[in-house]
Homo-oligomer: A and B are copies of this chain.
Amino acid sequence: MSRCFNFSAGPSELPLEVLEQVRDELLDFRGTGCSIMEISHRSKAFTEVHNETQQMLRSLLDIPEEYDILFMQGGGHMQFSMVPLNLMAPVSADPSRRGGGCYIVNGTWSRKAAHEAGRLGGISIAAEGDETNVPQQQDLRIPEDASYVYYCDNETVHGIEFNYVPDTGRVPLVADMSSNILTRPFDIRKFGAIWFGAQKNFGIAGLTIAAVRHDLIGRAPENCPVMLDWKSYSSKNSMLNTPPTFAIYIANLVCHWLEKQGGVPEMAKRAAEKSGALYSVIDASDGFYSGKVKPAFRSRMNVTFWLKDESLNDLFVEEAAALGLKNIRGHRSIGGMRASVYNAVPTEGATQLADFMKDFERRHG
């Protein structure tokens, strides 16, 4: 069959231009006579890709020099451990930070992060959402001696996105931006660290990126496993050992694609259009479709909704797939539908899905 529109929550759609370039240079990477997959991470050809990717990401996200950009492996769960291991231990210069991590919990991923940090040390909960909303600034209880405050900027399972950046005073703020990085401008100077997996808006699974302020690197305890210490990456330009070279190459192509499209501001515009098209159909459907998240906190990335008559679910999914609109089932833990409209999903994909939803409603409403 031909290429479909892919609403997978991750790993998810890549720009067609990126895939075509990968295909075209797969057997011979730019005259080396080898595939990019076959060359040493210390070769000139690869280190150029590696360094350019860091530089382009820095530029796309406006990350100043006082933040290090780290390329890691292990996905979100590895960061769930690395954040507390790297930030819980107070440096001797700052003995007041003994309160452990403080977590804002408003969905599956922030809950998992808090759970792992709780296993590794003492934590507190700043606030809990009820999976329809985002806790607001005035509801956050942050201990003065907290080591850091952690939250997940976009929760993919329920489709909930923060509509503000928490103010945590002098306590470093850490954000999981796995599912909405590069989809709207933000000021990293408000954060001590951000991290994200690559497989939604920055390429493929197997690469995890963090941007960490210098002064927060080097705080891990003496016996921290070497690959869990941000310093191991910071001090070796993310090449203490062989990095996931192919995933970094894909990220490089995604950077070029993003730049050509108009960068993060353009992605923000498209995200509003794509998610807006779908939420409009839901809101105009008089209950045929309904979402659970309060409008102010609706994710621009993961549009979740339920059919009033759930016996139509399978038909809905089948008819959509027949039109090339794929992977729209909700997360197995909550059911319903979920259309993820990450950067690489064309606006046309969202409008075709919106048109299909209207048509399906007309025929079954």
Q: Mark A residues whose CB is within 8 Å of B.
A: 1-4, 6, 8-14, 16, 19-20, 22-23, 26-28, 31-35, 37-43, 73-78, 80-82, 85, 116, 119-120, 197, 199, 204-207, 222-223, 225-228, 232, 240-247, 250, 324, 326-327, 332
A27's closest neighbor in chain B, by CB?
B19
Is the pair A33, B324 in contact by a Cβ cutoff of 8 Å?
yes
**Are A206 and B73 in contact, CB atoms less than 8 angstroms apart?**
yes
The 26 listed contacts between A and B (C-beta, < 8 Å) are: A3-B28, A3-B33, A4-B32, A4-B33, A8-B38, A11-B37, A26-B26, A33-B324, A34-B326, A41-B205, A43-B327, A73-B206, A73-B244, A74-B227, A76-B241, A77-B232, A77-B241, A82-B225, A85-B225, A119-B222, A119-B223, A199-B242, A206-B207, A206-B243, A206-B246, A228-B228
Check B19–A245 contact: CB distance below 8 A. Answer: no
Point out the residues of chain B lying under 8 angstroms from A250, CB to CB. Answer: 37
Residue of B nearest to A327 (CB): B40
A246 cross-chain contacts in B, Cβ below 8 A: 204-206, 246-247
- Counted per complex, copies of this chain come to 2
Instruction: Determine which of B23, B225, B242 lies in contact with A228 in the assembled complex, contact meaning CB atoms within 8 Å.
Output: B225
Contact of A227 among B77, B226, B242 (CB under 8 A): B77
B40 engages A9 (CB within 8 Å): yes
Tell me which residues across on chain B come within 8 A of A28, comparing CB atoms.
Answer: 1-3
Q: A204-B246, A205-B41 are in contact. Are A19 and B14 (CB under 8 A)?
A: no
Chain B: minimal CB distance from A151 (Å): 19
Q: Is B41's CB under 8 angstroms from A242's CB?
A: no
Is the CB–CB distance between B3 and A116 below 8 Å? Answer: no
Q: A206-B247, A242-B10 are in contact. Are A226 and B81 (CB under 8 A)?
A: yes
C-alpha spacing A80/B222, complex, angstroms: 16
A26 touches which of B22, B119, B197 (Cβ 8 Å)? B22
| Contact between A11 and B41, CB atoms less than 8 A apart | yes
Contact partner, A14, options B9, B37, B82, Cβ 8 Å: B37
Residues of chain B contacted by A38 (CB below 8 angstroms): 6, 8, 11-14
Chain B proximity of A9: nearest CB distance (Å): 7
* Given A33-B324, A204-B245, A205-B244, 11 further pairs, Cβ under 8 A: A8-B40, A8-B43, A11-B37, A13-B38, A23-B27, A39-B327, A40-B327, A77-B227, A119-B222, A199-B242, A206-B244
Min C-beta distance of A109 to chain B, whole Å: 10
Assess the A19–B11 pair: CB atoms within 8 A: no
Q: What are the 5 tightest A-B residue pairs by CB atom distance, in nearest-first order?
A: A206-B244, A4-B33, A81-B225, A73-B73, A206-B206
How far, in whole Å, are A3 and B29 apart by their CA atoms in the complex?
10
Rounded to whole angstroms, the CA-CA distance of A266 and B280 in the bound complex is: 62
